[in-house]
Structure 1
Amino acid sequence: MRPELPGFYFDEEKKKYFAIRGPIPGSKPSSSSSSSSRTKQKPDPKPLKEPNYQKRNKLKALKLLCSRELSGSVLVNKKKSNFKEEIEKTQASNPLVWRYDSTENLGDAALKEFQVDIQTSQGLTRKNILVAGSTGGCLSILRVSKAGQVPPFDEFETPALYGGTECDPVSVLPYKENKREAPRLIWRPAHSHLHAPSSISSIQLIGSSYPSDNSHHIKRALITTLGSSGRGSVFILSLAEEPYIVTPRSLRGNVSSECTIWTSDCSVSGTLAAIGTNVGAALVDLETGAGSYFLRSESDVLALQFHQSKGSIVQCGLRNGAIVSVDVRERPSRLTRHQIRSQSTSGTSQATARKKEWFKLKGNINPSHVLYMPSSLTCMKTLKTYDQYLMASSMDGTIKLYDQRMVKRGVAVQTYEGHVNSHTRIEFGIDPSERFLMSGGEDCYTRIWSIKSGQLLSENKFSNSVPSVVCWSAVEGQSELKDSIVHGTWLGSREAIFNMF
């Protein structure tokens, strides 16, 4: 008798072993095999259905994708942790904060730190400056230096050459005495300020600040004002040499000078600017001032930005909560008319809701790709690492992260709880490593969240007014303290300018 071999059978006629790949010849077919054979003979005419796991949870694929792109892996093992990430979370949970004297009412509307090459008597000198705008219309240019340089001047400069005020740092967090020296010092020159007729609404750099060849640095900045009685203004700030020069840029073309300018952004090339107004959004040539509207809307454009990888796309956040992506290549005279639904219809009567259910706009948009926040947009930014991820905040205190490849589902990848807002325009900040989100609130608290998990890491109150603006150092990721995620973080409020370490 031949021995039995697992997975093989012996053919008596051929005197050989054969692998078992199906029913043994001559054996009685099993019920499963017979049913399968019948299935093969009579195929099911119905189309294939999606896998059961997608039916149980349609967001599973989205979560796996988010986990891979934001966490760096497909599968997240909760039992394992990254040492560096844990240290950064500890730093974010226990920040050190300094308040700078003589900076009240300077940076509560807009705040940006730039690294610039300035022409001096000794040649080109690289400096860090902090450009601050206030709701009172004051534009200030502050000199910034590292600790140890008191005051922040080079060896060829003297304070008498500039005059001005040294803004002394005062430790405000932690509340117990902090003997550590402030990492940054601020000097306020006597003549480096401008009084605009209305509130500063935005400060944006013109051109890329960190090109790959490192041969060019910021020389100009775009300044916009909100406008009094609907007369917003555009200014060009020259940073090539001191004293700094601010030049008004008169708007021409079909862009009305009677509009309110809420926000702005500049293209990577530095030749065009997009401005958000109370009647839509327009492109402006920064050299000539000629402009034209690429979006006409019944709702104010409160936030906008150029798409990082698609220079012809500008994303606009409206007062009614809609976020639309507009292709600016369409001719202004041929803007396509659209009607899209309004998000602000909840809590109203049915008759009122019918009237407000739709609103009109003109522009080259895809209505099926419109995102909706619960109320008016306050801030909107995309992640540089993965520019398909869009983070947006609204005036009801909602902050959400969207994957723009999944806009038709209308579901956010992440929601950040704890933010407090009801009517204030508050600008949040994303750290250079894109692991942490920071924002002030109407309760005067400053909060930090983990971007990928949504966990609230810290909430501290060190200001008696709303920290409405957040920005990071101009030398993002290039300082010796680059692993400290909150190093060089500036916060602006009416009370003062703060630095977080």
Structure 2
Amino acid sequence: MRPELPGFYYDEEKNRYFPIKGPIPGSKASSSSRTKQKPDPKPVQETNYQKRTKLKALKLLYSRELNGNVIPVNKKMSNFEEEIQKTQASYPEVWRYESTKNTGDAALKQLQVDIQTSVGLIKKDIIVAGSTEGCLSILRVSEPIQGFSDESETQSLNGGIECDPVSVLPRKENNAEERKAPGLILTHERCYHALSTISSIQLIGRYDESENFHCVNRALITTLGNAGRGSPFFVNLDEELNTITPQRLRGNVTSGCTIWTAECNRSGSHAAFGTDLGAALVDLETGAGSYFLQSKSDVFALQFDQSGKIVQCGLRNGAIVSVDLRDRPGRPFPRLTRHQIRYQSSSKTSQTTKNKQWFELKGNINPSHVIYMPSSITCLKTLKTYDQYLMASSMDGTIKLYDQRMDKRGGAVQTYEGHVNSHSRIEFGIDPSERFLISGGVDFYTRIWSIKSGQLLSENKFSNSVFSAVCWSAAERQRDRKDSLVQGAWLGSCEAIFNMV
């Protein structure tokens, strides 16, 4: 016997389900019903996915029951699961956490660690946050504790401060029920104050192939530096949360320069630093290292490939170069190959700028594989599913996806319209399933795109500051672990830390 489906009946002769509403298939429609029926209006073609589609989950479910996982959407066949996820992404829920002002506007990382306490080893979800004011904070993410008041901040049992989440999206309507918060952030009283802006936070750990996630026990922190005196240091994450004991990186080659960014390889053995002198590779155990790329244009962004043998470097002048770390001499300071790189030709180039059409780079690079963006590079990320795809953003608001095998022939394979930027180093985020792209803008809007189609799914303004840092929760990256909290994306601005689900 066929199972009953709400709103449908099963026709034994035709061997399929039909909706109960409307005439039974095969029956003659009455004249009155024909006169009442009106043709469906054509969908309004607008640029915003939220306004253009208005897809309802119930209608998608009905369509799946009739057509299977491949369903018709806007006269095209689409995957049911993808459409449901796009619908959810177009109407996110956002929470702002109180007492997190000027906490995570420079860098954010979320992870789960095993912390040694007086009662033994305890698993905790934490956020490592850095601010432009030089404050490094460690915040714990936990479920709401029953028995505590829902009023604003109260002192926790651990001496920290409970930061109550406040719903900011969707807008609360009159007489509407209060939505359940996804969790609490416990801000501990102790934090570390660096001498300058926290420029990057990188998690260091070994990759566990059996459980498919990184076992992280420390973080590499870099500061921007005052007058070219940036510095890297370590923070142990497996100690008590109210203790921050930074350890300096010994013998590093990045002293005396501005450190814009850093990136660790997958094994956690080496880190690449982007500075105003170029890019340096440093052994994290010994501190020994050397520059593998020298340039007069600052390196604003770095990204290792999965093998750890190639580093993508995004420069202030808009160039993206792939530097091969292999076949390098074993000397501490190898002699780098000099290259004269030609800027991308432009119809706007005048005779007065001929002397600026070339720039010099030193390193193991292929000049013919240089990618050019319209302005300074702000963020670089490779897709984990296939790292030949490189996503990059620049300060003029351009976000593009490149296939590095086709850069000379076809350029970008996808462009994401709508991003607004003019001068800020804004980090974009890619969700763990690599289906969605999220980024804040200098117009204070937060936008979500479909990575595959480039479609703008949502744009919402729920803050009066720029979201310059974004990360996803450990539970999303380690979704096979049952002891992790599911909490979506974290967004950092000078106003507060926000959570988007």
- The two structures have a TM-score, normalised by structure 2, of 0.78
Aligned equivalent of 2:455: 455
Aligned equivalent of 1:325: 322
Q: Is residue 2:350 matched to residue 1:349?
A: yes
Aligned equivalent of 2:186: 187
Q: Mapping of 1:61-460 within 5 angstroms? A: 79-147=76-144, 162-177=158-173, 179-191=178-190, 193-208=191-206, 211-213=209-211, 217-242=215-240, 243-250=242-249, 252=251, 255-308=253-306, 310-329=307-326, 330-331=328-329, 332-343=333-344, 347=348, 349-352=350-353, 354-409=354-409, 411-460=411-460
Aligned equivalent of 1:62: none
Q: Distance in 2 between matches of 1:444 and 1:213?
A: 38
Q: Distance in 1 between matches of 2:213 and 2:90?
A: 37
SS of the residue corresponding to residue 334 of structure 1 reads coil
Closer/same/farther in 2, CA of residues 132 and 441 from structure 1, 3 Å limit: same
The answer on whether the counterparts of 2:320 and 2:371 sit within 8 Å (CA) in structure 1 is: yes
The answer on whether the counterparts of 1:345 and 1:357 sit within 8 Å (CA) in structure 2 is: no
Q: CA deviation at 1:128?
A: 0.5
Q: Distance in 1 between matches of 2:213 and 2:254?
A: 37
Q: Distance in 2 between matches of 1:150 and 1:324?
A: 55
Q: Distance in 1 between matches of 2:116 and 2:183?
A: 23
What is the CA deviation profile of residues 115-172 of structure 1, one whole-angstrom value per residue up to 9, with x for unaligned ones? 1011122221111000110000000100101345677xxxxxx966531211111111
Aligned equivalent of 1:59: none
The answer on whether the counterparts of 1:233 and 1:248 sit within 8 Å (CA) in structure 2 is: no
SS of the residue corresponding to residue 362 of structure 1 reads strand
Q: CA deviation at 1:217?
A: 2.2
Comparing 213-222 and 272-281, the one that deviates more: 213-222
Q: Which amino acid in structure 1 is aligned with residue 79 of structure 2? A: N
The answer on whether the counterparts of 1:417 and 1:456 sit within 8 Å (CA) in structure 2 is: yes
Q: Distance in 2 between matches of 1:362 and 1:274?
A: 16
Closer/same/farther in 2, CA of residues 214 and 363 from structure 1, 3 Å limit: closer
SS of the residue corresponding to residue 204 of structure 1 reads strand
Q: Distance in 1 between matches of 2:114 and 2:496?
A: 27
What is the CA deviation profile of residues 258-312 of structure 1, one whole-angstrom value per residue up to 9, with x for unaligned ones? 100000011111111100000100011112222210000111000001111x311
Q: Distance in 2 between matches of 1:471 and 1:145?
A: 17
Closer/same/farther in 2, CA of residues 215 and 392 from structure 1, 3 Å limit: closer
Aligned equivalent of 1:14: none
SS of the residue corresponding to residue 475 of structure 1 reads helix
Aligned equivalent of 1:18: none
Q: CA deviation at 1:252?
A: 2.4
Runs of 4+ in 1 over 6 A off after TM superposition: none
What is the CA deviation profile of residues 329-365 of structure 1, one whole-angstrom value per residue up to 9, with x for unaligned ones? 323422100011234977453122x111010010000
Q: CA deviation at 1:409?
A: 1.7
Closer/same/farther in 2, CA of residues 306 and 150 from structure 1, 3 Å limit: farther
Identity %: 72
The answer on whether the counterparts of 1:273 and 1:285 sit within 8 Å (CA) in structure 2 is: yes
Q: Distance in 1 between matches of 2:267 and 2:159?
A: 36
Aligned residue-pair number:
415
Q: Distance in 2 between matches of 1:320 and 1:130?
A: 33
SS of the residue corresponding to residue 405 of structure 2 reads helix
Q: CA deviation at 1:487?
A: 4.5
The answer on whether the counterparts of 1:210 and 1:217 sit within 8 Å (CA) in structure 2 is: yes
Q: Which amino acid in structure 1 is aligned with residue 373 of structure 2? A: M
- The two structures have a TM-score, normalised by structure 1, of 0.78
Who wins on radius of gyration, i.e. which is larger?
1
SS of the residue corresponding to residue 437 of structure 2 reads strand
Q: Distance in 2 between matches of 1:112 and 1:215?
A: 15
Q: Distance in 1 between matches of 2:445 and 2:413?
A: 25
Aligned equivalent of 2:465: 465
What is the CA deviation profile of residues 399-434 of structure 1, one whole-angstrom value per residue up to 9, with x for unaligned ones? 000011112225111000000000100000000111
SS of the residue corresponding to residue 171 of structure 2 reads coil
Closer/same/farther in 2, CA of residues 114 and 182 from structure 1, 3 Å limit: same
SS of the residue corresponding to residue 412 of structure 2 reads coil
Comparing 468-477 and 259-268, the one that deviates more: 468-477
The answer on whether the counterparts of 2:205 and 2:214 sit within 8 Å (CA) in structure 1 is: no
Closer/same/farther in 2, CA of residues 344 and 167 from structure 1, 3 Å limit: farther
SS of the residue corresponding to residue 91 of structure 1 reads helix
Aligned equivalent of 1:33: none
Q: Which runs of 5+ in 2 are unaligned?
A: 1-69, 149-153
Q: Distance in 1 between matches of 2:488 and 2:345?
A: 38
The answer on whether the counterparts of 1:449 and 1:455 sit within 8 Å (CA) in structure 2 is: yes
Q: Distance in 1 between matches of 2:360 and 2:146?
A: 56
Q: Which amino acid in structure 2 is aligned with residue 170 of structure 1? A: V
Closer/same/farther in 2, CA of residues 361 and 368 from structure 1, 3 Å limit: same
Q: Distance in 1 between matches of 2:247 and 2:394?
A: 31
The answer on whether the counterparts of 2:207 and 2:213 sit within 8 Å (CA) in structure 1 is: no
Q: Distance in 1 between matches of 2:250 and 2:256?
A: 10
Q: CA deviation at 1:232?
A: 0.5
Q: Distance in 2 between matches of 1:481 and 1:419?
A: 34
Aligned equivalent of 2:500: 500
